[in-house]
Amino acid sequence: MSLHTTELGDQGPRLVFCHGLFGQGKNWTQIAKAFADRHRVTLVDMPHHGRSSWSDSFSYADVADQVAALIDDADPVTLVGHSMGGKAAMVLALRHPRLVSRLCVVDVSPVAYAHGSEFREYVRAMQALDLAALESRSDADRALAPAVQSPTVRSFLLQNLRRDPGGEGRGWSWQPNLEVLGRDLDAVAGWPEEEVSGAAPYDGPVLWVAGATSPYVGPEHAPVMEQLFPRVRRVTVKGAGHWVHSEQPEIFVQVLRRFVE
């Protein structure tokens, strides 16, 4: 398995960013540029996403171990993960604590969520798109509109649509592994209790960033978070939902900079 990465900066401590479901490493570019003058920044295309390779199943242990393979034992990193990437980052810190000097978890908790139906509908809508009939990205936007009514969500999903001029027909293809992600969506929305049950709590500093209007981090999630990550500090960002770093980038950079510097 190979993971595609993008590197920014050439000096200072290393930051590694992990994106969420249907995302790509480049989703973190704006944030990464704010740190590239003092840090070596790595943006990861997570397994089954972007330009990274696919396998025939999804599990957080596998994903965490693949990201861990990018980190040198002698050079532990500040690990930042959003949503799916946040769960992978937490699992990595629990399974490979020596690789993580600090952990930032963005708007997700170490729990299984029940609200995965909307993501299942997104997968179905993307799979149902007739790629051979597309003339342009705007055609794809119109075709997705009945199933995905939010223009913001459609724009986010369509970032995954790529055109290969050398491909067959018009050469459109989806970068995510829709078959596996759709089939294993319960694992994506879940929490790998058995895969981390033998791990000791991660004793490094942890920043837990939540969007004020997001349902993914609430008071009911604090006990399990504190059990696994006893040095956790929670920050709630006003005017932000689940995509905290894209909805309030300046505030997110300020919060993260205080944490890492």
39 has catalytic annotation: no
197 has catalytic annotation: no
First to last CA, the chain: 33
Q: Give the SS3 label for residue 101.
A: strand
Show Cβ contacts of residue 174 under 8 Å, excluding neighbours closer than 6 positions: 126, 131, 160, 161, 162
Cα separation of 188 and 224, whole Å? Answer: 18
- Residue 249 is encoded by which pair of tokens? 């980038």
226 has catalytic annotation: no
Active-site choice (48, 82, 96, 242):
242
Active-site choice (83, 96, 214, 245):
83
The answer to whether the beta carbons of residues 210 and 107 sit under 8 Å apart is: yes
Which H or E element spans position 105?
Answer: strand 100-106
Active-site choice (179, 195, 226, 247):
179
Residues marked active site are found at: 83, 179, 242
